[in-house]
Amino acid sequence: MKITFLVANLACGGVERTVSYLSKYFAEHGCDTSIVCISDEQFYDIDKKVQLVKLNIPSQCSGFFDRYEKIVLRFLRIHRALKHLNPDCVICLDAELLRFIRVQRSLGRFKLITSERTNPLMNSDKQRMAKFKSYRNSDGVIFQTKRAQKCFPRDIAEKGIVIPNAVGNEMVFRAPKTIVRRKVITAVGRLTEQKDYPTLLRAFALFLERHSDYTLEIYGDGALKSELRELILKLHIETEVELKGAVKDAVLYVSSSSCYVMSSLYEGMPNALMEALAVGTPCVSTDCPFGPYELIKNGENGLLVPVGDAVALCDAMCRMVEDVRFAERCSENAKKILSEQSIEEVSRKYLDYITGITEGN
């Protein structure tokens, strides 16, 4: 079976991480696997058994005509690439890209499977209607959570399947056992509004009033870097906070920290939180829709707090560093995710679903 992934790029992100481990698994299990990547941006390594096709179309546009030209180029180059690869099934985990292959899909040249990777409740009415149309034109839909699946009309929900993300970062398995934890709080994710780092920074400023010997490390890049730096200065915590940028082995630093914190407003299924749980770092997360509730059993393998509540976030961090026995219990329970959501288990579910769709079952 020939399987092709269509992605905008291979930058640092959840979709890109998923494509990297799924493509490797498919190739290792006898599938002729390829990735068509619109831009050259690449953060994740791709297995040598997987054919990587880069279309060399920059994502940045300098104006209306440049944007129009790049849209036309996407149509043409994607068409040529798929004609050459001749896949049995195209996996497009980014619904925004479905428009570029609608014509080829309608001609029946391949089966098309897409996925809901974000929180559908955050979409505007226009975005929601566009997704409904795209998903109805697909042969299959993969949801990350049951709650996300329930956000869609019955005809879309019923032809889909719920498959959670896997713990797909190989660095997780290289993390050494932590004997003494660093006096550091860690966070990982793009510097975007969705991640609500301002609440984390305010919570950490309160945390320092009780634990002044700790620091905060934030791993990730994004458009809000300058704004966050301004807030850090305003809160007078510039000597205690480090914006580390995007780092491939960030999970190794997370594994030795005292607490991992996710302050998001919303999620799809947060990979970074899954990885922090997998390496046994005591975790605190906002109970945002969707993902954290599916991953954390409050008080058993981590702590959940209300979205946007800096005081509650501070109190949860303090509990993790003050109550050592509680933190250790959370750490041990958190590691169970390694067996529950392993790459092998999740990738097998993907391949079984894709095979069924491709063979018409």
Query: What tokens appear for 89 in the block?
Result: 């099934």
Residues 39-90 pLDDT 10s: 988 988 899 999 999 999 987 777 777 788 888 999 999 999 999 999 999 9
Nearest to 264 by CA among 287, 293, 280: 287
Q: Which of these, 234, 241, 237, 224, lies nearest to 189 by C-alpha position?
A: 224
Residue 313: per-residue pLDDT: 98
Region 328-356: mean pLDDT is 94
**Length of the chain measured in residues:** 361
> Rounded to 10 degrees, what is the CA torsion of 315, 295, 184, 20?
-150
User: How far apart are alpha carbons 146 and 165 in whole angstroms?
Assistant: 13
Average pLDDT, the chain: 93
Q: Which residue has the higher pLDDT, 361 or 230?
A: 230
Interacting residues of 189 by C-beta distance below 8 A, sequence separation 6+: 195, 219, 220, 262, 264, 270, 272
Residue 243 confidence class, pLDDT cut points 50, 70, 90: very high
Phi/psi for 53 (5° steps) reads -110, 115
| C-alpha distances in Å from residue 359, one per residue of 110, 126, 237, 242, 356 | 11, 33, 58, 51, 5
- Return the pLDDT at 361: 67
Query: What's the pTM?
Result: 0.82
Confidence (pLDDT) at 29:
96
Looking at residue 15, its pLDDT comes to: 87
| 120-151 per-position pLDDT tens digit | 888 888 888 888 888 998 999 999 999 999 99
**Cα–Cα distance measured from residue 343 to residue 341, given in angstroms and rounded to the nearest whole number:** 7
